[in-house]
């Protein structure tokens, strides 16, 4: 029995349809079933949550490390600045120089006064344990560390080369103090200076925390200050007049003197060495972190009166 061309064509079409249907069924059989998805999805979620928590922990630890390093850097930089000023000063003082005037005074009023020995009971304008440091420094024609600078002198005997050094050095005051947990540096000068040999580069400063205008603002040395204490010291034994207690440039991480040759002075007057202890406290990652450091330094008295 012969097959017509029409029957042949129909058979081929049916074979093609069966072939495509098989391919579609095979493709569907390669996916996930509902059971597989129910098992896999919780595992994927757990992995993602774990990785996210791990990243949060790493980020928090990184922030804490950066915060600690910043606290250490702030304390060390601030103490370095103070030590430089101490070494370039003529002497430490209990009060500002009698010729100098601070129109603003300490925060809250009163007069500047420093007693030292870790506490400043006379300082009623800030909450202990904060001290004040008052330095008497020689005025200069350029930055104190500039090799081209000259000392500014009071014109008593004339400004000629032959008599210049016989004139007294013109003194200004540097005051380090803490107000609202910020360590400031203020410069105080004579508002009506006498005739001078040279033009002093040092200019008086005024409080940052007031509305004072038309003046140079106090320098912010350190923020988040939780402790700023000063101890004035002299040698315990005067057999060696050049002895220091401890050495003029020394650093300590503990709170006690490492050199038994020094004793506490009655106050700034006559002290040879300042020991300054400073601490800052920062909130890092929701937790307080404190760092403290201590230096000892001595006024070198480089100017000749």
Render pLDDT for 186-202 as a digit per residue (tens, 0 to 9): 999 999 999 999 999 99
b/e map 245-256, b = 16+ CB within 10 Å: bbebebebeeee
Q: What is the pTM of this model?
A: 0.74
Would 41 be classed as within a structural domain?
A: no
Phi, psi angle pair for 132, to nearest 5°: -120, 145
Cα–Cα distance for residue pair 103/101, rounded to 1 Å: 6
Q: H-helix or E-strand containing 228?
A: strand 225-235
Confidence (pLDDT) at 194: 93
Would 223 be classed as within a structural domain?
A: yes
Would 21 be classed as within a structural domain?
A: no
Confidence (pLDDT) at 150: 93
Place of tokens 């009163």: 110
What SS3 state is found at 22?
helix
For the chain, the distance separating the N- and C-terminal CA atoms, rounded to the nearest angstrom, is: 139
Confidence (pLDDT) at 149: 92
Would 302 be classed as within a structural domain?
A: no
- Name beta bridge partners: 296: 250, 275
Confidence (pLDDT) at 59: 77
Residue 214 region, left (φ>0) first, then alpha (ψ -120 to 50), else beta? Answer: left
Phi, psi angle pair for 125, to nearest 5°: -95, -10
Which residue ranges of the chain lie beneath pLDDT 50? 3, 120-129, 239, 247-248, 252-260, 304-305
> Domain span at residue 157?
64-297
Would 120 be classed as within a structural domain?
A: yes
Tokens of 289: 């972190």
Q: What is the CA radius of gyration of the chain?
A: 37
Q: How many domains does the chain have?
A: 1
Confidence (pLDDT) at 4: 59
Average pLDDT of the chain?
Answer: 79
Would 186 be classed as within a structural domain?
A: yes
Would 265 be classed as within a structural domain?
A: yes
Would 116 be classed as within a structural domain?
A: yes
Tens-digit pLDDT profile for residues 35-54: 777 778 888 888 888 888 88
């Amino acid at each position: 029995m012969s097959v017509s061309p029409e029957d042949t064509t129909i058979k081929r079409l049916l074979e093609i349809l069966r072939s495509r249907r098989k391919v579609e069924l095979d493709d569907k059989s390669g996916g996930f079933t509902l059971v597989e998805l129910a098992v896999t999805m919780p595992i994927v979620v757990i992995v993602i949550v774990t990785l996210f928590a791990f990243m949060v922990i790493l980020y928090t630890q990184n922030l804490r490390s950066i915060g600690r390093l910043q606290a250490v850097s702030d304390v060390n930089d601030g103490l370095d600045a103070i030590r430089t000023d101490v070494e370039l000063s003529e002497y430490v003082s209990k009060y500002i120089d009698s010729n100098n005037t601070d129109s603003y005074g300490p925060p809250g009023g009163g007069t500047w006064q420093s007693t030292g020995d870790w506490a400043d009971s006379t300082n009623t304008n800030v909450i202990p344990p904060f001290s004040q440091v008052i330095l008497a420094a020689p005025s200069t024609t350029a930055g104190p560390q500039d090799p081209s600078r000259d000392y500014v002198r009071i014109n008593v005997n004339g400004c000629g080369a032959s008599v210049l050094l016989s004139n007294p050095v013109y003194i200004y005051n540097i005051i380090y103090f803490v107000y609202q947990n910020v360590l400031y540096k203020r410069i105080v000068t004579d508002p009506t200076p006498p005739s001078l040999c040279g033009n002093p580069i040092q200019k008086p400063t005024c409080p940052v925390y007031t509305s004072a205008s038309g003046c140079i603002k106090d320098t912010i040395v350190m923020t988040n200050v939780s402790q700023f204490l000063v101890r004035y010291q002299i040698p315990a034994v005067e057999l060696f007049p050049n002895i220091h207690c401890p050495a003029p440039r020394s650093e300590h991480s503990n709170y006690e003197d490492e050199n038994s040759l020094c004793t506490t002075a009655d106050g700034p007057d006559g002290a040879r060495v300042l020991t300054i202890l400073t601490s800052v406290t920062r909130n890092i990652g929701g937790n307080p972190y404190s760092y403290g450091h201590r230096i000892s330094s001595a006024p070198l008295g480089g100017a000749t009166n």
